[in-house]
Each structure stands twice: as structure tokens, then as C-alpha cells.
Amino acid sequence: MSTYNPYDNVLETIRNAASILGLAESDYATTMYPERELKVSFPVMMDDGTVKIFEGYRVQHSSSRGPCKGGIRYHQDVNIDEVKALAAWMTFKCAVVGIPYGGAKGAVKVDPSKLSSAELQRLTRRYTAMIAPLIGPDQDIPAPDVNTNGQVMGWIMDTYSMLKGHAIPGVVTGKPIEIGGSLGRVEATGRGVMITTRESLKKLGIPADKARVAIQGMGNVGSISAKLIAELGAKIVAVSDVSGGLYSSEGLNISAIREYLSVRGRLLKDYNEPGVNHITNQELITCGADVLVPAAMENQITEKNAADIQVKVIVEGANGPTTVAADKILEEKGIVVVPDILANAGGVVVSYFEWVQNLQSLVWDEDEVNKTLNRIMCKAIDEVFDLHTEKKITLRASAYCLALKKLVTAKNIRGIFP
Ligand SMILES: NC(=O)c1ccc[n+]([C@@H]2O[C@H](COP(=O)([O-])OP(=O)(O)OC[C@H]3O[C@@H](n4cnc5c(N)ncnc54)[C@H](O)[C@@H]3O)[C@@H](O)[C@H]2O)c1
């Protein structure tokens, strides 16, 4: 078996959509290559006085439909192909939900749990300085992703503003409210996953209040998805984090688990409650539920475990959790996969609201944010399901066809420079 390369996954998915649309390669070739790839190496002074060198990246996949947009990830295993794939998924995500952005992604190869808060701040500030030539509210706007959060965005905003000499809140989204963040942004990706789950179940005729749901990952996306899907009346029977998972056929107490995890450094392997069993991440993926929400990392549903998956629907909270080979197995089994570029788009939609508020120096109330998010998500979900029914293609192929069409149209209108 060849080594897993998420960018190959992206290319195969784009080629499949292009062939469904009957596009010639010259029509969509630009979507196969990132516009810019920056690799940086930079020193950080550690608390003990030693200097460590870290490697980071910023990839801008496309600016055809607007400024580049995409999160920053801190992870010890990150590499350029992963960042290229994540940047491309952002391009397609923004296109499928119809917000005026291209796609980008950044990362630093680091395990942030091994750094003190002061070291994390110095690393973030130096990485920001290294990518400063590429980012800015008009060209490329970062946001949180795995292992980054509002505080990290605050340091990025401050560093960039200091370099420019005045406050520029619109350079990042996912900031704390006090410095220009949007109400509803922290919950937005999970809220989008909940809306996608609710609407998909409705279309498939599965009552949400009878659904049994398993969620992999209890970070920003997984834990908010768990909370909001539970509020639909569904039973969350399994959740997990990097250390392992919890299972209860009666349904887990999500607010108690979220409360427990709110202390930095705590892991689910140490969580104990009567009636709750410890399971592995693999057991979570193959446990008997109706809905599986992978909300951790890429490459979790593969040809090795796809045949053992028993759910009716998979709602991809994470980016790229399912490989192309696994997708084919799931399709043959009749399992409906709601793709990442649709299911987890809530975060970038509310990031867009935050950026608009920053550019206009306006503040929206939370109700307006959530209502507008709901409207945009429901419209995109309807469009993706309609094309899927009309063309008898998977939901992933449908979402990519809709997005690719918009990207090709934008490129054609703009023409080729010079
Ligand atoms: N934060 C956002 O707004 C956002 C938006 C869209 C998509 N996403 C995607 O959602 C996914 C999760 O992002 P997040 O922001 O919630 O990250 P996070 O850092 O807040 O949480 C990640 C969670 O996954 C768990 N995890 C890490 N590695 C794992 C593994 N190998 N197996 C099982 N669990 C593992 C962690 O313990 C943690 O619970 C990523 O794919 C990310 O790209 C995030």
C-alpha cells in the first residue's frame, strides 16, 4: 500500500468532479495547483534559555473568488502535503457555501502540549512575522484549526498590528470578542455540523430524536457538535479524543464530559462515570450508531476499517477524514457520507461574518449570526442534495461539482494575467 498523501485525495476528487461536469483539463488545471507555498524555519527562545528551530508553512491554494482564507494548525506530524490539501479544501468549501473567499492554510510542526504558554506565545509571534508578507485582511486571513484557539489568534492579530503600526483586527478571524471577534464564532463549526446533521437526517427520513450518534474528537468541533446534536434530542453514545473513547448505550452526559475537558491537559482515558465504558478510537468508528461524526484528524476512515462501519450516515466534521478508497467501500455499503467541505463549513461562514464586521467596524448580535449561518448552510445543503439526486452521484461528488463550477466560472471571467 502506498503512503497516504492527502493532496492525492484532493486531486482525485477534483478529477472526478471535472469528469462529471465534462470539463477539459485546461478548464480546471488551476485548481490542481496551489498559487503559493511558503515554508519557513524560525528560532524560538525556550524558557530554559536554549534556542529551538521550528518549521512552518503557509499555502495559498486559490484567490480566484476572493482573498485566501484558512486556519493555522499546530501539530507535530504536519507536512507540506497536508497543508496543501487543507488549503485546497478551504477553496472548495468557500465555493460550495458561496462566500467570497479563496482557500489557504498554515501550520507549524510542533506539539504545543509540550510548550509553556510563554513559549507558545513567542512561537506564534515569530511564525506570524515570518508569514506576514503573505497575510493581511485583503489577501489572506488565518483562523483557528487543530491546537490553536482564540488566544493564538489574539497574538497573531497583535503581532501583525505592531508590524503595521496600527490595530488591524481583520487580519485573523476566530479572535476573542474583546478584540473584534464575532459572537457565535467559537461554536460556529460545531453549529454547522449540527445543522448539516439535522437537515441530512430530515432528507433521509431518520428522526433526529431517535438517532444514536458517535463523535470522534472532543476539541472545538467535536465537543460543540456533541452538545448541539444532543440538544436535537439525539443520543450521543460515543465520543473520543487522542487518548481514546467513551461509550454508553444509554447516551453519554455531554455537559459533564465537556466540563471535565475544560481543564487544559485532561484526557478522556482518565474520565470515569458509572455505566460508561472505555473504547479505542477504532472501536468508536465501528460502534453501532446511526450517525458517525469524525471531528478529529484526516485519514481516519480508510480501506482498513470502512467495511466494518455500521452507521447510516457519516457527517464529516473534520477535514479529510475519509480516504478515496474508503469512500468507494462506503458507497457500495449504502452509507451516506456528507462531505467535509459542506459539513464543517460553519466555521468559515462565521469567520466571514467576523471579517465583514471588522471591515465595517460593526457588531452583529448572536441571533443574527446564527440565523444567517443557518440560512447559508441550509441553502448549500439543499443544493448539494439536489444535484446528488439529479445526477445520481455521491454527496461529495455533488459538492465538488457545485464548487468546481463556481471556481472555473470565476477563473474564466477574470481571464489569465498578463
Ligand atoms: N476549528 C474550526 O473552526 C474548524 C473548522 C473546520 C474544520 N475543522 C477541522 O475539524 C477537525 C478538528 O479541529 P478542532 O478545531 O476541533 O481541533 P482541536 O484541536 O480543538 O481538537 C482536536 C480533537 O481531536 C482529538 N484528536 C487528535 N488526534 C486524534 C487522533 N489521532 N485520534 C482521535 N482523536 C484525535 C484531540 O484530542 C481533540 O479532542 C480538524 O480536521 C480541523 O481541520 C476545524
Compute the distance from residue 210 Cα to the ligand 1 centre, in Å.
Answer: 26
Which amino acid appears at position 253 of this protein? N
The phi and psi torsions of 266 (rounded to 5 degrees) equal -75, 145
The C-alpha R_g of the chain, in whole angstroms, comes to 20
Which residue's C-alpha comes closest to atom 21 of ligand 1? 219
Q: Which fold has domain 186-338?
A: Rossmann fold (3.40.50)
Q: Which atom of ligand 1 is nearest to the CA of 261?
A: 39
Whole-number Å distance, alpha carbon 147 to ligand 1 midpoint, is 8
34-168 homologous superfamily = Leucine Dehydrogenase, chain A, domain 1 (3.40.50.10860)
User: Identical fold at 34-168 and 186-338?
Assistant: yes
CB of 346 shorter than 6 A to ligand 1: no
Query: Could you tell me the residue ranges of all domains in the chain?
Result: 34-168, 186-338
Q: What is the pLDDT along the chain (418 residues), one digit of tens a residue?
A: 458 899 999 999 999 999 999 999 999 999 999 999 999 999 999 999 999 999 999 999 999 999 999 999 999 999 999 999 999 999 999 999 999 999 999 999 999 999 999 999 999 999 999 999 999 999 999 999 999 999 999 999 999 999 999 999 999 999 999 999 999 999 999 999 999 999 999 999 999 999 999 999 999 999 999 999 999 999 999 999 999 999 999 999 999 999 999 998 999 999 999 999 999 999 999 998 999 999 999 999 999 999 999 999 999 999 999 999 999 999 999 999 999 999 999 999 999 999 999 999 999 999 999 999 999 999 999 999 999 999 999 999 999 999 999 999 999 999 999 9
Task: Tell how far the Cα of 254 is from the centroid of ligand 1, in angstroms.
Answer: 17
**Which grid cell is 61?**
491554494
Nearest CA to 331 out of 384, 403, 388, 282 is that of 388
Q: Which three cell numbers stand for residue 182?
A: 464575532
Candidates 130, 143, 56; CA nearest to 99 is 143
318 lines ligand 1 (CB under 6 A): yes
Q: What pLDDT is stored for residue 3 in this prediction?
A: 80
Catalytically active residues, by annotation: 105
| Grid cell at residue 196 | 448539516
Q: In sequence order, which residues have a C-beta less than 8 Å from that of residue 386 and are 6 or more positions away? A: none
